[in-house]
């Protein structure tokens, strides 16, 4: 698939037919401060070297705002334990997941990925947009290609909004299921495909404990 280029007027035209943006004035939302912190960085695609220099600072903000870190616990590097609540209620803190590498993610797949601002860290999220998709957030819901997604796995309506964005070749749009407490593509932009570690193939029962016992 070739690289697609859109100017502002074309993106606006693509957004025609989506519900109008409503005013967020007065909504208390800590992610608004985080967005300001990264406003100088690219909203889509790979991050610049300048952004990487402040990775530690942004990563700290990300953890506080909501990112589910995953740690390798299996000998073969396929079992991960989730640390955090940004994928709640689908994945709980301490949940074990089995990851299959080498697969091209599809929409709605849960993936483990390298955080673009710190590739040594692994996080987990759900693929919402694939290359060529038009993604927007309006009226408490995600819209893809002008269709409202029926997301039964999300606990509550979304309290933020995202202008229509076209997902380019070699990128994905990834969100946490705990939409109002997740630091994800709606803040830092699309995820490079090369950062995807693998697709979550199974959610294992129980919770991980360092003693090997269920808490």
Task: Show the tokens assigned to 182.
Answer: 């997740």
Interior angle at CA 110, CA 106 and CA 114, nearest 5: 100
DSSP code at position 209: -
Cβ 193 vs Cβ 173: under 8 Å = no
Cβ 168 vs Cβ 190: under 8 Å = yes
Instruction: Reduce the DSSP state of residue 185 to 3 states and report it.
Output: helix
Cβ 198 vs Cβ 112: under 8 Å = yes
Separation CA 98–CA 169 (nearest Å): 27
* Catalytic sites, residue numbers: 86
Residue that is written with structure tokens 């697609």 in the block: 4
């Amino acid at each position: 698939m070739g690289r697609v280029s859109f100017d502002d007027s074309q993106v606006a035209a693509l957004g025609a037919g989506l519900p109008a943006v409503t005013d967020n004035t007065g909504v208390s939302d800590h992610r608004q401060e985080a967005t300001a912190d990264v406003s100088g960085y690219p909203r889509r695609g790979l991050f610049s070297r300048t952004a990487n220099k402040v990775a530690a600072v942004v990563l700290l903000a990300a953890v506080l705002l909501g990112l589910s870190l995953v740690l390798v616990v299996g000998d073969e590097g396929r079992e991960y334990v989730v640390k955090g609540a940004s994928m709640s209620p689908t994945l709980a803190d301490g949940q074990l997941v089995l990851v299959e590498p080498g697969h091209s993610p599809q929409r709605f797949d849960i993936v483990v990925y390298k955080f673009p601002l710190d590739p040594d860290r692994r996080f987990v999220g759900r693929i919402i947009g694939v290359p060529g998709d038009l993604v927007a957030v309006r009226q408490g819901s995600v819209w893809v290609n002008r269709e409202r997604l029926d997301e039964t796995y999300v606990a509550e309506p979304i309290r933020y909004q995202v202008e229509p964005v076209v997902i380019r070749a070699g990128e994905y749009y990834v969100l946490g299921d705990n939409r109002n407490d997740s630091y994800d593509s709606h803040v830092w932009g699309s995820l490079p495909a090369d950062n995807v570690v693998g697709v979550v193939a199974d959610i294992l029962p129980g919770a991980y404990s360092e003693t090997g016992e269920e808490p």
